[in-house]
Every structure is written in structure tokens, then in C-alpha cells.
Amino acid sequence: MLVHLKVSNYALIDNLELDFSSGFTVLTGETGSGKSILLGALGLVLGERADSKVLFTSDKKCVVEADFRLNKNKCSKFFIENELDYEIITTIRREINSAGKSRAFINDSLVNLSQLKELASQLIDIHSQHQTLKVRKSDFQLAVLDAYASSKSICLEYHSKFNELKKAQIVLNELENAEIKARADVDYNQFLFNELTEISLEGVHVDALESQLTMLSNAERLKELAVSFTEGLSGDESVLNQLNELKSGIDNLAKISPDFELIADRFISTLIEIKDISEEVEIKTIDLAHDPEQINSLTEQLNHINRLLFKHNCETTEELIDLKQKLEKKLLWVSSVGNDLDNAKLIVTELLSEVIALGEKLSLKRELAIPGLAASMEGLLDSLAMKDVQFQFELEKLATPSVSGLNRLSLHVKFNKGSDFLPIEKAASGGELSRIMLAFKVVLSEESDLPTIVFDEIDTGVSGEIANRVAELLASISKNMQVVSISHVPQMASKGQQHYKVYKETSEGITNTKITVLNTDQRLVEIAEMLSGKNPSEAAVQNARELLN
């Protein structure tokens, strides 16, 4: 249960602290005093969206802290799975800075919002005013029916399997689309692959081919230049002969003086290098001949490769080889995709069968629970002065499974004997919707075993004896769980075991929301003012006293 709430720098709240007891707590105050602000602050620690606009002053952060007394048997699994420290009094804290960024903590351990919401869902249910409209929604009605039918485990199993089915269907759809595209491109890809296969590209480089073609095309001229060069080096009057004659001179210099030995070695090395150059030039050109057939073959090969490079916007033959490999993979995939599709279809079929089986099991539990839920709702509403109301839950079977099962639920009601059943959205007034929602909430709280429920003006649209009965029902359920009710109705205020008043106070030009717990005398005045306004008459005070008694 909620035991303490601390709020600082939120909306109109500078600093505020509240202690909560078990049983039934009511919060009252004039319209605009800040009751909904307090509810918004509580919503923050339960994972609601944060916004920097909620800051009371923009130069410091907003902090909201809530302490809950936990039931270890109920919550221990969450703490174990999320590796968090369990405390009997667990503190949930939410901080929001001036940029609107927020952080959340459970017992001083940083957590994400999904973890916060998961824990909060086990601790408290907040019913805000706009939620009454949910009564008209099929998914809400179905959630109540499932809670009443104790279908939580099968619902979780169904949702898990349904999600698997949706993922498998996405995979199948993607495969089918990919196959359609691949089949459409297969002829063109085969043509491109064949074109790249017609010519050998492994180890082939355009620069090397161009160099080879240049040599062959200039073979005669190269040979002439090579002969002239080698004869100049090693002919009768060649450079080598002259250098050989000079060799004896450098040898004599080295014999006379050691200073010339290194120079002599260098001279000999130069002679050897020149001889090697002459021999290498001769070797490279000895077999060189103008070969028109080879020139044509190289020219065609080079032109072919250049066309492919230009066509595929490639720079090197390695890129063409890589493209060929990719095309080959695509062609192989097209030939094997049939097996992948068959497997994907089989998985979808099997999952669909499992989903339908679980859905039918869930449908049966729903059908069996409908009479009991209708009777419970009618009994609760009878205590709320709707004694002739009758409920008709119509469970329609869907053609295909949905996220909520194989059914769509519609609720029809009739409020008077002899009248016809009508869809709830057409038949119920605002006051009737409030009472029906309250009955739904009572059913949900009983089945979900929530420790705390907060009602924000659940008594909207009711007054007099009906308001008194609504208050009595909340007081009754508060014997088994903590109930907090924000109300404008004196009947509701009188039933609370703990009574807080929310009010505004202006000091030095700044308006602040305050809250105070009321003693018996203060409650008497507050309820009298709720009955007749400021400065209540003695009759109003007496009426308030009777309500309190």
C-alpha cells in the first residue's frame, strides 16, 4: 500500500508531504485547488510522461517520491528478475530537470520507465475522470471479463504466441516480396552474370594489359632501340670495352694507395651492373616480335573489360569479380528460396494453429465467465440504486486472431424493466457510466489483488442517496484494500477514515497548493461547506454531523 508521498517543485506545489493509512482516505477541496495536480505528481512516479512545463520554478529539478509497503510474495519476482534490492518499504523516485529529461529510481537504483511501470502495475491503480469513457470500449470490457475469468496466465501465453505469429508472418511476407522481386530480376541478373563469366577476370589488371599491348604494338621499334643500346654498351668500340681498358688504371691506383680501394670496388660494381643491364635488355627483346593476332586478342580483351568497368561503374577488375559473386548468390538464392518459403509457411501454419487453440481455450473461459460477471455487475449496481439494470455481454467470434484473442466483446444494457437492450454507449448517462465504471473497477480490484486504488471523482454525475451508496461501496472495499478518493461530494467525504483538504495559498505574490489532514471538527466544517458553501448554516452543520455519524 501507499504509505508516504513527497512532492517538490511540481506545478503549483513547492514542497508537500503526505502520509497515507490503510482503509479509506478522501481528498477534498475547491475546484482548481490542486487535487488533480497531486494526482499528476503521483502519476509521475508510476511512469507517466514527464515534461519540464510541470516545474514550479525552472531553476531546480522536480522530485516526486512515493513509499510503498510491499507484499513480498507478490512483488519478489519483479525484484529478482530486475536485479533490484527488495525492501519492505520500497521507495520509487522520479526526477525531472529543467530540460524535461527525467530519471527514475527504485530503492535508489536507476531504472527505466518500463521497469517503473511494471512495478507500479502491481502496486496501484489510478482511475482518472476521463477513464470512465473506457466503459464503452470493447478492449476494456474484455480486460474486465478476462480478469473476472482468472485468465491472466492463458492471456499471457496467448499474447506471447500471437507475437511470435506476427513476427513469423512478417518474415514470410518479406520472403515472398523478395522472391517476387528476385524472380522479376532473374533473367537480367543471369544475363549480367553470363556477361561477366565470358571473360577471365581473375588476376587480370588493366594497367598490365595496356603495358603488354603497348610493347607488342611497338615491337619492331623496341627491338631496334634495344639492339642499338646493347651494341653501344658491348660492341667493339663500346662503352664496356673502354671502361675495361680504364679498369687497369683504377686497379693501379688502388695498389699504390689504399685510399683508392673503395673507389676501385665501386668501379668494378658499375661494370658488372652495366653488363647486367645489357644482358637484361637483350633477354627482354630477343623474343619480341610484332604479332597481329596477339595484338588483336589483347585489344579485344582490354576493350571488353573497359566496357564492363564503364557499364557497372567500377574502377578495378576486383570490383567486377565482387559483382559477379553477388549476382551468383542472387541466382542461387532464387533457386533455393522455395525451401525457405516452405519452411516459413510451415512455421506460420504451426503458430497459427497454436494461437487458435489458445484463443479457443480463452474464448471458452470467457463464455463460462460471462454469466457470473453479469450477475456480479448487476449485484453491485443494485447496491448503487440501479436495481433493474441488466447486462448482456455478446462475445463475437473473429474471422482471424487479434491481439486480444478470437473475440470481440460488446456490452448491451437495459436500465428499466420492459425496455430493450441497447449498446452501452447509446443507453447510459454520465452518472450511470460512473457507477458502471465503479462496478467494473471493484471487479478488477478483487480479481487482480491490487493493494491500492485511487479514484479521481468517481462520483461525478451522482448526488443524494446514490452518492451515499457509492461512498458506502468504496468504504466497503477499503476493508480489503487501500482506497483513496478525490471528491467534491459530501457523502463521499464523510465516509473516509482519513480526510485531507487541498487548498491554495498565496504568499508574496506566489500561489502554492497546500494540503492538510483534518480533525473531526475541521471535517465537520469542511463537509458543511461542501453542502452549502462558505459560512454554512446551522442546518448544514447539523446535516454534516449526521453524515459523519
- Between 211 and 268, the more confident residue is 268
pLDDT tens profile 23-59: 999 998 887 777 878 888 888 888 888 777 778 777 7
For residue 133, give the DSSP letter: G
Residue 180, pLDDT score:
78
Q: What is the CATH number of domain 1-123+458-517?
A: 3.40.50.300
Of the given ranges (174-178, 203-207, 261-265), which has the lowest mean pLDDT?
203-207
If you average pLDDT over residues 209-215, what whole number do you get?
74
Q: Whole-angstrom Cα distance, residue 351 to residue 468?
A: 52
The answer to whether 153 and 365 are in contact (CB under 8 A) is: no
Residue 264, pLDDT score:
85
Identify the bridge partners of residue 90 per DSSP, sorted by sequence position.
68
Q: Whole-angstrom Cα distance, residue 4 to residue 17?
A: 7
Q: Whole-angstrom Cα distance, residue 470 to residue 476?
A: 10
Residue 289, pLDDT score:
66
If you average pLDDT over residues 322-343, what whole number do you get?
79
Q: Whole-angstrom Cα distance, residue 149 to residue 369?
A: 5
Residue 117: alpha-carbon gap to chain centroid: 14
Strands of 405-509, DSSP E: 405-414, 422-423, 452-456, 482-486, 498-507
Of the given ranges (345-349, 407-411, 470-474, 519-523), which has the lowest mean pLDDT?
470-474
The answer to whether 495 and 484 are in contact (CB under 8 A) is: no
In terms of average pLDDT, the best of 109-113, 329-333, 544-548 is 109-113
Residue 6, pLDDT score:
93
In terms of average pLDDT, the best of 37-46, 70-79, 400-409, 526-535 is 400-409
DSSP 438-456: HHHHHHHHHHHT-SEEEEE
Nearby residues of 499 by Cβ (< 8 Å), 6 or more positions away: 25, 26, 28, 493, 517, 518, 523, 526
Residue 237, pLDDT score:
64
CA distances from 426 to 366, 415, 431 (A): 24, 12, 14
If you average pLDDT over residues 217-236, what whole number do you get?
72
For residue 259, give the DSSP letter: G
CA torsion sign for 315, 316, 319, 320 is positive
CB count, 10 Å around CB of 328?
14
Q: Whole-angstrom Cα distance, residue 390 to residue 53?
A: 46
Q: Which helix (H) or strand (E) holds 245?
A: helix 239-256
Q: Whole-angstrom Cα distance, residue 400 to residue 35?
A: 45
Is a pLDDT exceeding 70 seen at residue 105?
Answer: yes
The answer to whether 45 and 93 are in contact (CB under 8 A) is: yes
pLDDT tens profile 491-544: 888 988 999 998 888 888 888 888 899 998 899 989 898 888 888 888 888 888
Nearest by Cα to 457 from 485, 495, 499: 485
Is a pLDDT exceeding 90 seen at residue 211?
Answer: no
pLDDT tens profile 167-182: 999 999 988 887 777 7
Q: Which helix (H) or strand (E) holds 292?
A: helix 292-311
Q: Which helix (H) or strand (E) holds 478?
A: none
pLDDT range class, residue 466, cuts 50, 70, 90: confident
Q: Which helix (H) or strand (E) holds 242?
A: helix 239-256
Ramachandran angles phi, psi of 104, nearest 5°:
-125, 145
pTM value is 0.62
pLDDT range class, residue 287, cuts 50, 70, 90: low
pLDDT range class, residue 363, cuts 50, 70, 90: very high
Residue 235, pLDDT score:
64
* Burial of 274 from C-beta contacts in 10 A (0-12 / 13-18 / 19+): middle
Residue 448, pLDDT score:
67
Is a pLDDT exceeding 90 seen at residue 5?
Answer: yes
Is a pLDDT exceeding 80 seen at residue 141?
Answer: yes
If you average pLDDT over residues 123-134, what whole number do you get?
78
Residue 293, pLDDT score:
76
For residue 132, give the DSSP letter: G
List the chain domain ranges.
1-123+458-517, 129-168+332-449, 206-315, 519-549
Give me 410's grid cell. 460488446
Is a pLDDT exceeding 90 seen at residue 368?
Answer: yes
Q: What is the average pLDDT score of the chain?
A: 84
Q: Whole-angstrom Cα distance, residue 531 to residue 105?
A: 43
Q: Whole-angstrom Cα distance, residue 327 to residue 192?
A: 8
Of the given ranges (330-344, 411-425, 485-499), which has the lowest mean pLDDT?
330-344
Fold agreement (1-123+458-517, 129-168+332-449): no
46-69 b/e (C-beta count within 10 Å ≥ 16 → b): bbbebeeebbbeeeebbbbbbbbb
What is the distance between the terminal CA atoms of the chain, rounded to a whole angstrom?
27
Angle subtended at Cα 452 by Cα 451 and Cα 457, rounded to the nearest 5 degrees: 155
CA torsion sign for 315, 318, 321, 326 is negative
Residue 351, pLDDT score:
95
What CA dihedral angle connects 316, 322, 328 and 331, to 10 degrees? -100
CATH 3.40.50 correct for 129-168+332-449: no
Residue 431, pLDDT score:
77
Q: Whole-angstrom Cα distance, residue 230 to residue 238?
A: 9
Is a pLDDT exceeding 80 seen at residue 416?
Answer: yes
Q: Whole-angstrom Cα distance, residue 159 to residue 167?
A: 12
pLDDT range class, residue 441, cuts 50, 70, 90: confident
For residue 55, give the DSSP letter: B
Q: Which helix (H) or strand (E) holds 2?
A: strand 2-10
If you average pLDDT over residues 196-223, what whole number do you get?
75
175-214 b/e (C-beta count within 10 Å ≥ 16 → b): beeebeebeeeeeebeebbebbeeeebeebeeeebeeebe
Identify the bridge partners of residue 410 per DSSP, sorted by sequence position.
394
- The strands making up 102-106's β-sheet, listed across from edge to edge, are 13-19, 2-10, 62-69, 89-96, 102-106, 109-111
The answer to whether 379 and 442 are in contact (CB under 8 A) is: no
Residue 236, pLDDT score:
63
